[in-house]
């Protein structure tokens, strides 16, 4: 469900789970509003990674709700009592309708059941101050670039980056590149580069269709997702990350040998399209694991279990990790190179942010 629901919804779990009672009948004395308890200054409005990680914590403690005991309650009873049902419906009616269609439960009268999930990789392509990547002519805007990715842990910051790049930066920078092209004739599609890329795409398509394996693209998508969820998710540790780095290439090799892509390459084929996307996901997942292993601190959305304070909050290491890490692609079967770009803060010094 949308994060916007936390503006008015209160998150809680039962102190003692009793399946015989409806959630709405559980008295206040038996409810743990754990975000409000742990973070009194921000309550349910803590950043998304903090909210998700704490939901996972109470679920791991055996307080989870729902059929799989992996969820928490998101309750609008107080907001409805304070503002009225019509006001809440005006704000969130489409989301409430969606929830009811999925679950068959009325969120106006019973708390929603939600479960924690990761939100962002919070990284992207390197760009210069004109939003141009290291490939001349390839501009990268919004969340796809690296520039503000750390801010994306806060609600609407991703939207902010897209708007800022699109409205206020790119219109004034892309012209610097295009100006040099004035008077040049468009490149002909007869150029060898076009034929080479077309042949490469056709060869990749033919290989997908010719594999004729026994398992679907969705199967490998799910298996990769489990590895990412278990080892590179809301919290990570060295053992899990090393396990992911070992298991992802093995699953990737099986994927290329045993995937079955239905249909053909002559028409719109969503199975074929998804095969290409899942192939990219393997690369991204392995990179994410390696980058997480290299960063020996907890900061923002990156939480290493080995680096937390006595209260379970993120423990930064600005002395050793005050830099941007950019990875250089060296080929599919090669080890990629990690570059560091040191950051300098002359006016505002980095500090640990407390939501308590």
Q: What is the pLDDT of residue 147?
A: 77
Q: What is the pLDDT of residue 168?
A: 94
Tens-digit pLDDT string for the chain (356 aa): 788 899 999 999 998 766 677 898 999 999 999 999 999 999 999 988 899 999 999 999 999 998 889 999 999 999 999 999 999 999 999 999 999 999 999 999 999 999 888 767 777 888 999 999 999 999 999 888 887 766 666 667 778 888 999 999 999 999 999 999 899 998 899 999 999 999 999 999 999 999 999 999 999 999 999 999 999 998 999 999 999 999 999 999 999 999 999 999 889 999 999 999 999 999 999 999 999 999 999 988 899 999 999 999 999 999 999 998 889 989 887 888 999 989 899 998 888 888 88
**Cα(312)–Cα(61) distance, rounded to whole angstroms?**
14
DSSP code of residue 59: I
**Cα(282)–Cα(291) distance, rounded to whole angstroms?**
14
Residue with the two structure tokens 């290439």: 249
> In the structure encoding, which two tokens stand for residue 216, read together?
């679907």
Q: What is the pLDDT of residue 149?
A: 65
Give the angle 13-231-299 at the CA atoms, nearest 5°: 75
What is the Cα 113 distance to its own chain's centre?
Answer: 21
CB 236 within 8 Å of CB 245: no
Angle 270-294/192-211 helices, nearest 10 degrees?
100
Q: Sign of dihedral through CA atoms 48, 52, 53, 58?
A: positive
Give every CB contact of residue 9 below 8 A, 6+ residues apart in sequence. Answer: 44, 74, 75, 76, 79, 112
Q: What is the pLDDT of residue 154?
A: 66
Nearest CA among 294, 291, 300 for reference residue 353 = 300
Give every CB contact of residue 147 below 8 A, 6+ residues apart in sequence. Answer: 124, 127, 161
Give every CB contact of residue 316 below 8 A, 6+ residues apart in sequence. Answer: 297, 298, 299, 350, 352
């Amino acid at each position: 469900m949308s994060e916007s629901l936390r503006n008015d919804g209160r998150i809680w779990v039962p102190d003692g789970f009793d399946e015989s009672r409806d959630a709405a009948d559980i008295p206040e004395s038996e409810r743990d509003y754990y975000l409000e308890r742990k973070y009194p200054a921000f309550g349910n409005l803590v950043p998304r990674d903090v909210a998700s990680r704490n939901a996972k914590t109470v679920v791991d403690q055996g307080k989870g709700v729902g059929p799989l005991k992996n969820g928490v309650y998101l309750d609008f009873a107080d907001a409805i009592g304070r503002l009225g049902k019509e006001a809440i419906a005006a704000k969130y009616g489409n989301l409430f309708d969606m929830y009811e269609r999925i679950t068959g439960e009325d969120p106006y009268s019973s708390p929603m059941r939600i479960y924690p999930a990761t939100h962002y990789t919070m990284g992207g392509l390197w760009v210069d101050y004109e939003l141009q990547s290291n490939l001349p002519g390839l501009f990268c805007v919004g969340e796809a670039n690296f520039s503000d990715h750390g801010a994306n842990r806060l609600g609407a910051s991703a939207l902010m980056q897209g708007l800022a790049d699109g409205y206020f930066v790119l219109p004034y920078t892309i012209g610097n590149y295009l100006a040099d092209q004035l008077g040049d004739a468009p490149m002909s599609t007869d150029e060898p580069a076009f034929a080479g890329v077309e042949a490469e795409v056709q060869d990749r398509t033919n290989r997908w269709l010719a594999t004729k394996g026994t398992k679907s693209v969705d199967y490998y998508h799910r298996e990769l997702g489990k590895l990412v969820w278990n080892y590179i998710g809301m919290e990570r540790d060295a053992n899990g990350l090393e396990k992911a780095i070992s298991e992802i290439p093995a699953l990737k090799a099986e994927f290329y040998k045993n995937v079955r892509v239905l249909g053909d390459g002559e028409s719109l084929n969503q199975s074929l399209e998804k095969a290409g996307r899942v192939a990219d996901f393997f690369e991204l997942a392995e990179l994410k694991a390696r980058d997480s292993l290299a960063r020996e601190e907890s900061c923002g959305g990156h939480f290493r279990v080995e680096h937390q304070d006595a209260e379970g909050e993120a423990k930064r290491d600005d002395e050793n990790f005050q830099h941007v890490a950019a990875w250089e692609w060296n080929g599919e079967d090669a080890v990629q190179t990690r570059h560091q770009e040191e950051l300098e803060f002359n006016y505002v010094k980095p500090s640990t942010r407390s939501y308590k």
